[in-house]
Structure 1
Amino acid sequence: MALQISATRPEHPALLLELPWHLPLEEWPEAYLVPLPRGISRHVVRYARAGDEVIAVKELAERPALREYELLRDLDRIGIPAVDPLAVLTGRTDDDGSPLESVLVTRHLRGSQPYRSMFETTMRPATMHRLMDALAVLLVRLHLAGFAWGDCSLSNTLFRRDAGAYAAYLVDAETGDLHPRLSDGQREYDLDLARVNISGELLDLEASGALHPSVDPVEFGTEICARYGRLWEELTRTSVYPAGKYHYIERRIRRLNDLGFDVAEMQIKHSADGDSVTFVPKVVDAGHHQRQLLRLTGLDTEENQARRLLNDLESWMATQDDYAPGDPLAARPEVLAHRWVRDVFRPTVRAVPPELRGAMDAAEIYHELLEHRWYLSEQAQADIGLDTAVADYIAHILPTARESLRPTTAD
């Protein structure tokens, strides 16, 4: 049987042909390999160079290789964080004509690491919690897409830190199944496997001395399931908001923030019955919001201010006709952010008379106005527009605040 290459793009076969497919993967010469850390796998896995790309090559039987390749392509199409499938090679033989196992080729996820590499030095519990939250986010997103993983574990996940954000990526889809919708039983089975696998992997780390002494492996495995449950409930709870009741949406965002998650993406779908909202969560590190707001808008603020302004920006972008995440023809986030600064942020801040602002800078003023709008909207149980909030803030809040700052004189 001749060597056959099934590839996602036409340029990949030519690059892959340069590699020594006539040799078992364990026998590949060092000249072809890239020395990157590898996780634990039931299969032989190696990193190699193909042209300008670094690829991961996994040796396994033909049928599961083809199946996993198609599953990874499906996950890529629906926007799930997973390794990028490049090709499957079947019909391999050695120099004597004896058959060799097929291989699955994926693109190396730049900047990612397997969990054991991250634990080579004892990791702080707070960082561990962020990584586990990232894994909970991944599992929720997989389940929302109808994907039953079948083997959720740290070993089958790659972690990447990008500009302060923590993200988990599926790296092994061999045991997975894609369905139109998952039953509660399928989700609970995945969760039970995740709890057992993660606790076992952390026990191994504990035995090797690479786990922080304050971390209980069994409790940690249970906690990730609890985090999953709270996030699943907050994301899947069906709510249709009356048109214009955006303070209800803001309330949902605040609950996600309280759970320790940020909103990476939000979509609002308009209908006659009201507005339905879809959220995509992410896990962020300290200072992330400052860096992101500065990159998008040029506004240099404190972290809490930045989080609040980014939430407002995200909500505003979701109402714009040319906002379509993932669509290459849609307006870029930087373009929309510039429009928000020009059309929303600056006019709102300028509505507050300079003589009443005191020492507050523009970002602090806007943050205060958003908080005041939230307070008024909660009181009224209806969305209070920024214009109304600004007028009320100028009339009732700023005079009181400035009066309290006046120096007192002794009698």
Structure 2
Amino acid sequence: MALNITASRPDPALLDLPWELPLETWPEEYLAALPRGISRHVVRFVKLSGRVLAVKEIKADIAAREYQMLRVLNKIEVPCVQPFGVVSGRVDVDGNPLDACLITQHLQFSLPYRALFSQSLREGTSTRLIDALAVLLVRLHLSGFWWGDVSLSNTLFRRDAGAFAAYLVDAETGELHQSLTDGQREHDLDIARVNIAGELMDLEAGGFLEAGTDAVDTSNRIVTRYTELWDELTGLERFERGDRWRVDERIRRLNELGFDVGELAISTDFDGTTIQIQPKVVDAGHHSRRLLRLTGLDVEENQARRLLNDLDSYRAGTDRQNDDEEIVAHDWLARIYEPITRTVPRDMAAKLEPAELFHEVLEHRWYMSERAGHDVPIEDAIRDYVATVLPNKPDEARVVGVDTVEMPVVAMFDDR
């Protein structure tokens, strides 16, 4: 059998990897020390040409299908890992066939949920993860994607200004449709609720879940949060003709949730007494797109919201409300954001991505100002943060430490 490599960005270095060995026996020299989530397949992180790739051993037809599905999801800008390639036609040294491998790019600064719970996290982490997963599931369903295996295990999480942003990792069971029926959406929600309950029970049994957290009640939150967000994004709203301001109010609510409205369907009754509206095109990333347009910074949605708030404060503090917004944003970037993020010593640069670091410095500055009883300059805040807070944080660009597959697993739900 001939080795067959399909890759979105072909790299000759792929040929140097030991494809003739089962993935679970690959030598340490090829591997990157990163925490792995629970998976029904063998997964390894490998170092290749200065990047880190995730390699999953899987049947050839499933690998090819998932690779194509991830490519489509990336094209429609759904939060998911980026596919890198598929390697099939593998045989061992004795000529026996081996499963194919799906290769994806490691999502920098992301962690599986079990690695997050291996750290010291503040109260409410489980509910914030559920909220992030609910937003991801709504975005997938709005795009017509039925997941079929919704779980914390099949998701990666990145910190997002005090919250989390969720990314789909495993699209193996997914299907893409023009639109989803209510039954398909409810099926995904049922799967999510059962899987999450099992995952949280495993954490509870291992002593990793926050005290006082009920696994079943927390898993039910995915249904509540999903339904609230879905209704806000797609629900029909009816009001009297004199209340036209409510159209703008609806758009502002959607913007606050981080979604842009590309079109509204507005209709009136026969007698013209009432109006009803319904969003027709809804895209996520309202704040991140605005920040990208103004500054070129490509960050998570909550991070963008926080950075924009600081930009607005800078604009007001310098009395430049009447100046061109893009010029003010350029000055803020050059005078505030970049000097602060570049203050971090090189040996600690991998602990947090720059936007999350800036958010934490703003938080740190607020607490310092509260203690001092007056505003503390952000330059003082970053120096104190680097000296007292940042050294104690793990390196989230490439976390070395707990391999989550070695954490205790009790319930049957983690056998995936």
Partners of 2:49 and 2:251 in 1: CA distance: 44
Report the alpha carbon displacement of residue 287 of structure 1 after superposing the two structures with TM: 8.5
Partners of 2:109 and 2:247 in 1: CA distance: 34
- Structure number with greater Rg is 1
Partners of 2:286 and 2:29 in 1: CA distance: 39
Partners of 1:269 and 1:240 in 2: CA distance: 17
Q: Find the counterpart in structure 2 of residue 278 from structure 1.
A: 282
Q: Find the counterpart in structure 1 of residue 257 from structure 2.
A: 263
Structure 1 length as normaliser, TM-score? 0.66
Matched, 1:294 2:288: no
Report the alpha carbon displacement of residue 211 of structure 1 after superposing the two structures with TM: 0.8
CA contact (8 A) 2:147 2:188 kept: yes
**Shift in CA distance, 100/86, structure 1 to aligned 2, threshold 3 Å:** same
Report the alpha carbon displacement of residue 213 of structure 1 after superposing the two structures with TM: 1.8
Matched, 1:172 2:175: no
Identity of aligned residues (%): 50
CA contact (8 A) 1:65 1:88 kept: yes
The equivalences for 1:188-337 within 5 A come to 188-238=186-236, 247-252=245-250, 255=253, 262-269=256-263, 278-280=282-284, 289-295=305-311, 298-299=314-315, 335=326
Q: Deviations over 1:227-246 (max 9, x none)?
A: 101100111125699xxx99
- The one of 73, 97, 101 equivalent to 1:103 is 101
Partners of 1:266 and 1:286 in 2: CA distance: 14
**Shift in CA distance, 116/300, structure 1 to aligned 2, threshold 3 Å:** farther
Report the alpha carbon displacement of residue 266 of structure 1 after superposing the two structures with TM: 1.3
SS at match of 1:248: helix
CA contact (8 A) 1:166 1:285 kept: no
The equivalences for 1:151-166 within 5 A come to 151-164=149-162, 166=164
Partners of 1:170 and 1:272 in 2: CA distance: 34
CA contact (8 A) 1:46 1:58 kept: yes
Q: Deviations over 1:307-364 (max 9, x none)?
A: xx9xxxxxxxxxxxxxxxxxxxxxxxx849859x9xxxxxxxxxxxxxxxxxxxxxxx
Q: Find the counterpart in structure 1 of residue 74 from structure 2.
A: 76
**Shift in CA distance, 19/137, structure 1 to aligned 2, threshold 3 Å:** same
Report the alpha carbon displacement of residue 212 of structure 1 after superposing the two structures with TM: 1.2
Matched, 1:14 2:12: yes
**Shift in CA distance, 300/197, structure 1 to aligned 2, threshold 3 Å:** farther
Report the alpha carbon displacement of residue 95 of structure 1 after superposing the two structures with TM: 1.8
Q: Deviations over 1:136-173 (max 9, x none)?
A: 00000111111110010000000001455521000001
Q: Deviations over 1:270-305 (max 9, x none)?
A: 89979966252799999874433335884378xxxx
**Shift in CA distance, 202/88, structure 1 to aligned 2, threshold 3 Å:** same
Partners of 2:73 and 2:45 in 1: CA distance: 22
- Structure 2, unaligned stretches of length 5 or more? 268-276, 288-299, 333-416
Partners of 1:199 and 1:53 in 2: CA distance: 35
- The one of 84, 87, 98 equivalent to 1:86 is 84
How big is the alpha-carbon RMSD for the aligned residues of Structure 1 and Structure 2?
A: 3.4
Report the alpha carbon displacement of residue 96 of structure 1 after superposing the two structures with TM: 1.9
CA contact (8 A) 1:66 1:88 kept: yes
Letter aligned with residue 66 of structure 2: E
Report the alpha carbon displacement of residue 22 of structure 1 after superposing the two structures with TM: 1.2
SS at match of 2:258: strand
Q: Find the counterpart in structure 2 of residue 370 from structure 1.
A: none
Matched, 1:5 2:8: no
- Structure 1, unaligned stretches of length 5 or more? 302-308, 310-333, 342-411
SS at match of 2:102: strand
SS at match of 1:106: strand
CA contact (8 A) 1:16 1:50 kept: yes
Q: Deviations over 1:71-105 (max 9, x none)?
A: 11111111100000010011011222211110000
Partners of 2:263 and 2:109 in 1: CA distance: 35
Letter aligned with residue 59 of structure 2: A
Report the alpha carbon displacement of residue 267 of structure 1 after superposing the two structures with TM: 3.8
SS at match of 1:36: coil
CA contact (8 A) 1:239 1:276 kept: no
Structure 2 length as normaliser, TM-score? 0.65
Report the alpha carbon displacement of residue 208 of structure 1 after superposing the two structures with TM: 0.8
**Shift in CA distance, 247/32, structure 1 to aligned 2, threshold 3 Å:** farther
CA contact (8 A) 2:262 2:283 kept: no
Partners of 2:14 and 2:244 in 1: CA distance: 52
Partners of 2:14 and 2:65 in 1: CA distance: 20
Partners of 2:72 and 2:177 in 1: CA distance: 11
Report the alpha carbon displacement of residue 113 of structure 1 after superposing the two structures with TM: 0.2
Q: Deviations over 1:44-84 (max 9, x none)?
A: 00000110210000000101111111111111111100000
CA contact (8 A) 2:130 2:219 kept: no
Q: How many residues align?
A: 301
